[in-house]
Amino acid sequence: MKLAISGWRIFEDHAAGVIFRLLLAATIAFLVLPIIVSIILSFDNREFIGTFPPPKFSLRWYRAFVDNPSYLDGLVVSLRLALLTAVISTAAGAGAAIALADAQWRGRDLVEMLFLSPKFVPTVVIGFLLGFATAIHVFDAFTRLVMGHVVITIPFTVRATLASLVGIPRSLSEAAVSLGATPWRAFLDVTLPLARTGIIAGALMAFVLSFDEVAVSIFLTDAYTQTLPIALVAEMRANLNLTVAAISTVFAAMAVVIVFFLDRAVGLDNVIGRGMYRG
């Protein structure tokens, strides 16, 4: 009887392992196959979106991207916007997270909820509310975009930094102070390096979210200041083509190249840290 139960448990463990491996393979295929199809279609020589695979390949859609001034202008705006948003959101979010994690004070939970609340509000609602600034022409379009993108990205920088700070014992900074360091020096030399992973992760999330944001941007742009996603949406409404696939392939390749060179040059562990502190 015991041998039968033991054999059944071994079979259950083996079956569970096979099922989890199949689920992992299905998840990877679900994520990777659309990217592979998009890459292949970006080299399609046809003027229309036809059957897969393409019968002939060319770089026509990459040339269409380079030759379209609205795409290039949108790319410049998106890069400037994402970089500025990441800087502001990281500085504000990390500062807020440090204040929230430093001590338990009255109203702390309410302040944390206010910082995280944009994460739970639909971006369309945020864009619509901020769109009133567009209607009354309070700020220029780029300033409105920065404001909107900081609002939707700051919850991620706050949460990422808080998650990193949770694992850092206060005794480390207290030990530095007891050895003669000022509180500010203890923060710079002890707490900040250990929290680097969360801060950089939040900054990367803010940059990526800002770069591909559509729902908020569509309410805040004007005819002269448009992000690349908005330019793509406008072009797709007028003339659906495979330029989108070409642009997606370019940015995917750029991401792979950047990660590769960072890893070869200094190592990803040295760039983003080795994770949260574990005593």
Residue, of 167 and 92, whose pLDDT is higher: 92
Q: Under DSSP, is residue 52 helix (H, G, I), strand (E, B) or coil?
A: coil
For the chain, what is the mean pLDDT?
77
> Considering the domain boundaries, does residue 185 fall inside one?
yes
The residue among 252, 277, 276, 278 whose CA lies nearest residue 34 is 252
Cβ atoms of 58 and 43 within 8 Å: the answer is yes
Q: Looking at residue 57, what DSSP letter applies?
A: B
User: What's CA 250's distance to the chain center, in Å?
Assistant: 17
Distance CA 272, CA 198 (A): 8
Of all residues in the chain, the percent with pLDDT exceeding 70 is 81
**Residue 79 structural domain:** 67-272
pLDDT beyond 70 at 276: no
Q: Is the pLDDT of residue 277 over 50?
A: no
Residue 247's pLDDT band (cuts 50, 70, 90): confident
CATH of the domain at 235: 1.10.3720.10
Report yes or no on 81 lying in a domain: yes
Whether 257 maps to a domain, the answer reads: yes
84: pLDDT strictly greater than 90: yes
Whether residue 36 is contained in a domain is answered as: no
pLDDT tens per residue across span 147-182: 888 988 888 888 888 877 777 767 777 677 777 777
Nearest to 206 by CA among 120, 117, 97, 89: 89
| Within a domain: 189 | yes
- Residue 150 forms part of a structural domain: yes
pLDDT in tens, 174-207: 677 777 777 777 777 777 777 777 788 788 888 8
The answer to the question of residue 191 being in a domain is yes
- Looking at residue 106, what DSSP letter applies? T
Domain assignment of residue 49, yes or no: no
The mean pLDDT of 127-150, rounded to a whole number, is 76
- Domain count for the chain: 1
Q: The pTM is what? A: 0.75
Please give the Cα distance from 97 to 191 (Å, whole number). 12
Could you give the CA distance from residue 53 to residue 32 in angstroms, rounded to a whole number?
17
